[in-house]
Amino acid sequence: MPKRTDIKKILIIGSGPIIIGQACEFDYSGSQACKALKEEGYFTILVNSNPATIMTDPEMADATYIEPLTLKTLEKIIEKERPDAILPTLGGQTGLNLAYFLKKEGILEKYNVESIGASIEAISKAEDRELFKVSMQEVGVGIFKSGIARSVREGLEISENIGFPSILRPAYCLGGAGNTIVYNREELEVSLAKALEISPVHQVLVEESVLGWKEIEFEVVRDYADNVIIVTSMENVDPMGIHTGDSMVVAPSQTLSFKEYTDFVNLCRKIIRKIGVTGGANIQFAQNPEDGRIFIIEVNPRLSRSSALASKATGFPIARVAAKLAVGLSLPEVMNQITGKTTSFFEPTIDYCVFKICRFPFEKFSTIQRVIDTSMKAVGEAMSVGRNFKEALNKGIRSMENQRFGFGCDGKDRISDEVLKDPDQNLLEKIKEKIRIPNDERLFYIRYGLKAGLTTEEIYNLSKIDRWFIENMKELIELEEEIKLSNHLNNLSIDLLRKAKENGFSDRQIGFLLNCPEEEVRQLRERNNVRAVYRLVDTCAGEFSSIRPYYYSTYETENESIVSNKKKILILGGGPNRIGQGIEFDYCCCHAAFTLREKNIESIMINCNPETVSTDYDTSDKLYFEPLTVEDVLNVVNLEKPMGAIVQFGGQTPLNIAIPLEKAGVNILGTSPESIDIAEDRERFRQLLHKLALNQAENGTATSYQEAKRIAKEIGYPVIVRPSYVLGGRAMKIVYDEEDLESYMREATEASPEHPILIDKFLEDAIEIDVDAICDGKICVIGGIMEHIEEAGIHSGDSAMVLPPYTLTEEIIQRIREATKMLALELKVKGLLNIQFAVRKNTVYVLEVNPRASRTIPLVSKIIGVPLVKLATKIMLGETLEKLGFTEEKKIQHVSVKESVFPFIRFPGTDPILGPEMRSTGEVMGIGKTFGLAYAKAQLGAGQKLPLKGNVFISVRNEDKRKIVFIAKKLSDLGFKLMATKGTAYVLSQNDLEVEIVPKLYEERPHVIDKIKSGQIDLIINTPQGKATKIDETHIRSTAILYGIPLVTTISGAEATVTGIEALIKRQLEVKSLQEYHSQ
Amino acid sequence: MKTMLLLEDGTEFKGESFGFAGETVGKIIFNTAIVGYQEIITDPTNFGKILCFTYPLIGNYGVNEEFNESERVWVGGLVVKEKASFYSNWQAKLSLEEFLKEKKVVGITCVDTRALTIKIRDDGEMWGIISSEGKSKEELLKRLTDKRKGKESILKEVSVKEIIRFKGKEKRIVVIDLGILKSILRQLHNLGPEVILTPYNTPAKEILKLKPDGVIISNGPEDDIELSKVIDTTKEILGEIPLLGISVGHLIIAQALGARLTKLKVGHRGLNYPIKNKDSFKGEITFQNHSLTIDESSLGEDIKIAERNLNDDSIEKLESEKFKFVSVQYYPLSPGLYEIHPILKEFIEMIKG
């Protein structure tokens, strides 16, 4: 069916900031969709609040709106652009929900806009629990006993019929947010109340729990002609009870029989036809491992994290195809670009095993238990490919960059083989518990269990992980023990070495087992020609030759990666997303690839993150889906022999291996690893600043607690302590006294074992500044100067920022500019650099210099309309800024505010205060004429529902009491009613403000928590008491998060919030596309 | 045990013994299905072939004889990348390896099956020998050539030996059994008519005597010298009684009508072949297992090409009102093994008129 001509303009809704459950997979799907629709000649309008995305690059869509994803803004954009259709299936749950509410509010009718890809009916059938139940009954697939609760009372009635345990699933929620397992009536009452609150439609499905069943997923695509294809099956290694986003997953399914597989396929076809999706859908099933009974869990009538994984696992670009199907094309009409011969109407078949493993942020939320369950907690994932499961498993583990180099025996096992040989009862019980209760280290505890003599059956009974996977793990352990028996590398037979490599062992593991450095293992391999070969991800298991495949390594007989004689450059990606390193760096890597293509140089990307645009089949000329370890990268280098490697765009990951790569002869392009080391090494850095006569906060480096104590005393508390070479403020802490320091030193050693601890004087009440600049070694041009809204001491990744600065004098800004240029030239930067400054009492301090792409590069590029990464790439190729025509800092006419988004809701009980350790997962941008407007937009984008009227609860620490008065007065003038705890209320009433005293937690009732819960508070301003945060404060803040009440924890944040509220009350929010901003 | 796979062009693949240790010669084919090893090796169409699975992990979910597509294993040999040393599925009764040993099927594992697949893709299907007997390359090549010369018909082995009746209602269907799959029989059973299986060499007269309302020419081996007999039988009943041809049955009907066959460079063997009606955008993903196809230029008038393969345009479905038949190149199994494929329903409707 030819594409539709009755629609011309299509609005694509993005998914907003990166949050747990909704990460850069939607940038990947949205970008593919933009390209696909442009290809077909449609006018595309894109809206997304997330500036770090490729999709919001001004070239991707015809009109790009970086605006908050709210109904109001969407209506404004629709009113302005008058699209014929919206495509809501590419923006995750956010996009889908927005489309649903646009319809519900009558906005789609009003402007005559059609929802394509998934009609509103289809969305409702999949998302509305009641409609879904009916549809599935009609299809004839088993459904769990369940009922929809709209109140706690209803829930209790339902549970009488279902029994315990049962699962609560709030409707229209993403990534299992709010999903809970309850084991008794009491838990049901408590959890259901919260779940009802979380669901935007106040509906919760109370469902029978099938903990321990198998979880099987299918990715299914359907077109208007009713053709249906299965892209792939996926089997969750972790059974039901763990969110699929947190599970280890294999593709294709490994333990389904043919009959079971075809039964699933048959059900999938019926289900997708029943729901009526045109495009991709993800269908999740639970299967009883004892009798094969199949139940449906859910259908996502849209692109999802799983569909990104399925795309990368098979080579089938689901998002691209889905976008084409949405405009009426049929599967047979869309070509398969991987083979170049066949169409999209076929089912990919693969000849390898794909493994997905997740990365969790538990180290950032130390107060909570490291337990995983039905509410997703992973922040990132890596995909690995092998010719068997064992190889994929080992590669997957080392892709995680958790300092692990395979399934144990890498020198990092918590429990040694010696201890496991004869484990005492306590240890055995601990191991069993760690296997029974899902957690992020379970995989390794299975290893310990096997080593301690637990049988496959015992481990199965504890974990319900299919015996097949456990047996494979056992085979790895057997192989490891065989290697160990060789005792010395010289005695290792080449057959055994080859077998180890075929099963994914890293050189590091083999080296550990045989007591030698990994380099020696590598040399032995090379001498004996045991080398990695590369096979294809080609969608067809080799049945057809392919024109655009991508590659994975294995140890077999034939290498299929043909090396071209073109000039080529390696780009090292960022690996799995984690807090501190995410989509921003992927954006940079993609831009590098685009630039190389422009320059007719072959771009070779290495990355292992299936969610990203950088691992899309057409981003680079050649893609290697590989872990980013020295071994795996060198394997590619040995084959491809690139003229150089770009390491400054992928975040900390490539930088961590830059020096070993350089030692192995890889030409590092741009800023030299030497300069990077000067910037990272405290001592060398201090000398540099001294030479340039720049100020630095007093500091020192300690390798022992005694030394740290001495240095801290000399400098004077409070101090900031942190390990060197880390990203995202990992283990960074403000320390107020010696006791604090001691406990820190005890806990932080794990953060980065090879590097010492850095101690800096904490500059209290300083303003922090981020500068992004570009330098070609001769001149340095400022990209953007951003002023943090929160004071220094709060991680720059978590702080809100304003561009241009809004409180600094021109004189200070000039000093910052000069310092930036001096540092760039002194460090001989070739490419990008980011500098953090602090300004205190008119003194400018240099906090740190990062001679690499920063988290803010995509944002700055979009604000100033200059593709900084592209320029930086060209500089690395030898061009100059002068030649590139970028010699002067851009003056911008509007104000942009970046705001961070936090995952506190996923970690109940965490204190949501800001500090030097980064905890945000994503960011949004607001652009406006004034600071207030931009800030308000940023807040809306970040999901803070800034109130325009109502009650404000204020409780601040003593130091802030003076400053809060002005803020409170302004709020009062704007019509808000003030509530405060006794101390704060006293100060406010002394200043002629009317204020209601609200009791603290242990005073009387109703206290502040009661008021939050009963919806009497609309905004909370609560600054933490310095060192030890009081328990009831934590309770107030975590309750605010749970109930979605806007929470401000700094005075500067409160000032900005008030300005934002004022702007919202007094002015209209306007929408404007990036293209319009740039053409000004 | 060290085992070798040697191709007729002298290419060697070293591996380990899998299943029965011994020697086997056959034409090498590859199948791209990621699941279904048991069903594929018990498909009579694969009689005597050395089968290479492109999916590298074989045997994961074990074997249960309930899922056999016929009474025995037909493949002459098996080539896999990694045999599962452990199987896991609630229905599994024994491991694939035990099954192969029991059925005396020779296999080889630890082979770079992707390299083998690409070789066959690029150079065409060829013969090979698997041997775990430690013979020299020359000797194996000689044995390969000797074995290859013998061209005995295998139809008598895959077909029923005598007429077999399955009770049913209303209509009566005769199946000329060239090695029909159990899953097709099961669908026919579920559709309800009486089904009579006849040996491949049953003369047309005998078939007509059974007074069938319709005749099905089943799937089976496609390169057998005795097939000419079935073609002759078909010529006699074409136009008399409604006919359904499945896979090789489809080729037989075409030949009975004077068409020629050509050989695909690479056979269609797997679960993911797209077919499409040329007048619509609607198609189907089908299961296939064949190397021969109909030469379109030799096709006579009054025969309609109803569906084609979307990858290579080859003919997938023929129909003719004049000759009262419909035939498909693919296996009518795709909607799920226990569901009835539309083509079978269509045929029953045709019979009912």
Residue A371: pLDDT above 90?
A: no
Predicted confidence (pLDDT) per residue in A883-895, tens digit:
999 999 999 989 9
Residue A84: pLDDT above 80?
A: yes
If asked whether residues B20 and B117 sit together in one domain, one would say: yes
Of B108, B124, B149, the residue that ends a domain is B149
CA–CA separation, A467 vs A293, rounded Å?
A: 18
If asked whether residues B164 and B15 sit together in one domain, one would say: no
Strands of A114-115's sheet in order across: A63-65, A43-47, A9-13, A85-87, A114-115
Residue A353: pLDDT above 50?
A: yes
If asked whether residues B136 and B48 sit together in one domain, one would say: yes
- In angstroms, the first-to-last Cα distance of chain A is 42
Q: Which is more confidently placed, A751 or B15? A: B15
If asked whether residues B164 and B229 sit together in one domain, one would say: yes
pLDDT at residue number A748: 62
DSSP alpha helix (H) spans, chain B: 37-41, 96-102, 113-123, 137-149, 155-158, 182-191, 204-209, 227-237, 248-256, 342-352
Torsion of CA A861, A866, A870, A876, to 10 degrees: -100
CA–CA separation, A671 vs A915, rounded Å?
A: 31
Tokens of A52: 């770090």
Q: With pLDDT > 70 as the criterion, what percentage of chain A qualifies?
A: 98
> Of the given ranges (A559-568, A580-589, A712-721, B310-319), which has the lowest mean pLDDT?
A712-721
CB contact under 8 A, B270 and A349: yes
DSSP 8-state code for residue A424: -
If asked whether residues B144 and B172 sit together in one domain, one would say: no
- A362: number of Cβ within 10 Å: 17
Residue of chain B nearest A558, judged by CA positions: B115
If asked whether residues B104 and B170 sit together in one domain, one would say: no
Mutate to test the interface with B, among A254, A259, A391, A534 (most CBs of B within 10 A): A259
Pairing outcome for strands A801-803 and A830-840: unpaired
Among the listed residues A403, A361, A398, the one whose alpha carbon sits nearest the alpha carbon of residue A380: A361
Query: For A750-760, what is the mean pLDDT?
Result: 66
pLDDT at residue number B280: 87
What is the band of A74 on the pLDDT scale with cuts at 50, 70, 90?
very high
DSSP alpha helix (H) spans, A749-809: none
CA–CA separation, B173 vs A658, rounded Å?
A: 73
Q: What Å distances lie between residue A523 and A411, A489, A497, A614, A627, CA to CA?
A: 20, 11, 12, 31, 20
C-alpha A187 chain-centroid distance: 31
| Buried-exposed string A404-437: b where 16+ CB fall within 10 A, e elsewhere | bbbbbbbeebebebeebeebeeeebeebbebbeb
- In angstroms, the first-to-last Cα distance of chain B is 60
If asked whether residues B200 and B300 sit together in one domain, one would say: yes
Query: B285 to chain A, minimum CA–CA distance in Å?
Result: 7
C-alpha A407 chain-centroid distance: 24
Prior bond of A165 cis (ω within 30°): yes
- A699: number of Cβ within 10 Å: 16
Tokens of A168: 């609560």
pLDDT at residue number A938: 96
> Of the given ranges (A471-475, A496-500, B147-151, B327-331), which has the lowest mean pLDDT?
B147-151
Angle at A936 between CA A935 and CA A941, to 5 degrees: 95
Domain count across chain B: 2
Spell out which residues of chain A touch residue B266, defining contact as CB-CB under 8 Å.
Answer: 543
Spell out which residues of chain A touch residue B330, defining contact as CB-CB under 8 Å.
Answer: none
CB contact under 8 A, B56 and A291: no
If asked whether residues B17 and B117 sit together in one domain, one would say: yes
Cβ contacts of residue B14 below 8 Å, gap of 6+? B2, B3, B4, B110, B111
Among the listed residues A1010, A1006, A960, A1014, the one whose alpha carbon sits nearest the alpha carbon of residue A983: A960
> Of B35, B117, B274, which has the smallest distance from its Cβ to A345's Cβ?
B274
Cβ contacts of residue A380 below 8 Å, gap of 6+? A23, A358, A359, A576, A577, A578, A582, A609, A611
Q: Dihedral of CA B150/B151/B155/B161: which sign? A: negative
pLDDT at residue number A174: 64
> Of A225, A456, A557, which has the smallest distance from its Cβ to B115's Cβ?
A557
| Buried-exposed string A891-930: b where 16+ CB fall within 10 A, e elsewhere | ebebbbbbbbbbbbbbbeebbbbbbbbbbbbbbbbbbbee
> Of A227, A467, A540, which has the smallest distance from its Cβ to B86's Cβ?
A467
Query: A182 to chain B, minimum CA–CA distance in Å?
Result: 29
> Of B60, B112, B274, which has the smallest distance from its Cβ to A346's Cβ?
B274
Residue of chain B nearest A557, judged by CA positions: B112
* Cβ pair A626, A632 in contact under 8 A: yes
Residue of chain A nearest B88, judged by CA positions: A468
pLDDT at residue number A1014: 85
Spell out which residues of chain A touch residue B283, defining contact as CB-CB under 8 Å.
Answer: 227, 331-332, 345
* Cβ pair A252, A237 in contact under 8 A: no
If asked whether residues B267 and B301 sit together in one domain, one would say: yes
Query: B200 to chain A, minimum CA–CA distance in Å?
Result: 29
Query: For A492-499, what is the mean pLDDT?
Result: 96
CB contact under 8 A, A544 and B283: no
CB contact under 8 A, B114 and A542: yes
3-state secondary structure A233-289: EEEECCCCCCCCCCCCEEECCCCCCHHHHHHHHHHHHHHHHHHCCCEEEEEEEEECC
Query: For A548-571, what is the mean pLDDT?
Result: 96
Query: B335 to chain A, minimum CA–CA distance in Å?
Result: 6
What is the band of A753 on the pLDDT scale with cuts at 50, 70, 90?
very low
Residue of chain B nearest A2, judged by CA positions: B281
pLDDT at residue number A287: 97
Angle at A495 between CA A489 and CA A498, to 5 degrees: 80
Residue of chain B nearest A336, judged by CA positions: B311
> Of A225, A252, A351, which has the smallest distance from its Cβ to B114's Cβ?
A351
* Cβ pair A926, A913 in contact under 8 A: no
Q: With pLDDT > 90 as the criterion, what percentage of chain A qualifies?
A: 75
Q: Which residue has the tokens 């806007």?
A: A1046
Spell out which residues of chain B touch residue A347, defining contact as CB-CB under 8 Å.
Answer: 271-272, 285
CB contact under 8 A, A346 and B121: no
Predicted confidence (pLDDT) per residue in A614-623, tens digit:
999 999 999 9
Spell out which residues of chain A touch residue B117, defining contact as CB-CB under 8 Å.
Answer: 351, 541-543
Residue of chain A nearest B267, judged by CA positions: A543
Mutate to test the interface with B, among A226, A257, A339, A552 (most CBs of B within 10 A): A257
If asked whether residues B294 and B344 sit together in one domain, one would say: yes
Predicted confidence (pLDDT) per residue in B63-121, tens digit:
999 999 999 999 999 999 999 999 999 999 999 999 999 999 999 999 999 999 999 99
Structural domain span for residue B76: 2-149
> Of the given ranges (A147-161, A489-503, A529-543), which has the lowest mean pLDDT?
A147-161
Q: Dihedral of CA A652/A653/A654/A658: which sign? A: positive
Spell out which residues of chain A touch residue B122, defining contact as CB-CB under 8 Å.
Answer: 545
Residue A11: pLDDT above 60?
A: yes
Predicted confidence (pLDDT) per residue in A267-294, tens digit:
999 999 999 999 999 999 999 999 999 9
Of B120, B149, B178, the residue that ends a domain is B149
Query: For A192-203, what is the mean pLDDT?
Result: 82
Query: B307 to chain A, minimum CA–CA distance in Å?
Result: 13
Mutate to test the interface with A, among B83, B95, B96, B114 (most CBs of A within 10 A): B114
pLDDT at residue number A705: 80
The residue type found at A878 is: G
What's the pTM? 0.94
Q: Which residue has the tokens 């780009």?
A: A571
CB contact under 8 A, A542 and B282: no
> Of B55, B88, B276, which has the smallest distance from its Cβ to A466's Cβ?
B88
CATH code at position B296: 3.40.50.880
* Cβ pair A611, A574 in contact under 8 A: no
Of B121, B149, B177, the residue that ends a domain is B149
Spell out which residues of chain A touch residue B336, defining contact as CB-CB under 8 Å.
Answer: 262-263, 265-266
pLDDT at residue number B176: 97
Q: What is the overall mean pLDDT for chain A?
A: 92
Residue A749: pLDDT above 60?
A: no
CB contact under 8 A, A347 and B280: no
CATH code at position B134: 3.50.30.20
Predicted confidence (pLDDT) per residue in A95-120, tens digit:
999 999 999 999 999 999 999 998 88
pLDDT at residue number B279: 83
pLDDT at residue number B353: 77
If asked whether residues B138 and B170 sit together in one domain, one would say: no
Spell out which residues of chain B touch residue A342, defining contact as CB-CB under 8 Å.
Answer: 274, 310-311
pLDDT at residue number A765: 84
A&B contacts, CB < 8 Å: 170
Bridge partners of A733? A721
pLDDT at residue number B98: 96
Q: Dihedral of CA A863/A864/A868/A871: which sign? A: positive
Strands of A733-735's sheet in order across: A699-702, A757-761, A719-723, A733-735
> Of A263, A265, A388, which has the smallest distance from its Cβ to B56's Cβ?
A388
CB contact under 8 A, A257 and B61: yes
Predicted confidence (pLDDT) per residue in A892-929, tens digit:
989 999 999 999 888 877 888 888 889 999 999 999 99
Spell out which residues of chain B touch residue A557, defining contact as CB-CB under 8 Å.
Answer: 112, 115
> Of B67, B118, B335, which has the smallest distance from its Cβ to A259's Cβ?
B67
ipTM score for this prediction: 0.96
Residue A752: pLDDT above 50?
A: no
Query: A225 to chain B, minimum CA–CA distance in Å?
Result: 5
Cβ contacts of residue A444 below 8 Å, gap of 6+? A407, A408, A413, A414
Predicted confidence (pLDDT) per residue in B169-215, tens digit:
889 999 999 999 999 999 999 999 999 999 999 999 999 999 999 99
Bridge partners of A64? A46
Query: For A948-965, what is the mean pLDDT?
Result: 93
If asked whether residues B256 and B184 sit together in one domain, one would say: yes
Spell out which residues of chain A touch residue B37, defining contact as CB-CB under 8 Å.
Answer: 258
CA–CA separation, A439 vs A971, rounded Å?
A: 45
* Cβ pair B219, B180 in contact under 8 A: yes
Predicted confidence (pLDDT) per residue in A656-665, tens digit:
899 899 999 9
* Cβ pair A1060, A214 in contact under 8 A: no
Predicted confidence (pLDDT) per residue in A687-721, tens digit:
999 999 999 999 888 888 888 889 999 999 999 88
Spell out which residues of chain A touch residue B282, defining contact as CB-CB under 8 Å.
Answer: 225-227
Tokens of B152: 């005995």
Element (H, E) at A584: helix A583-598
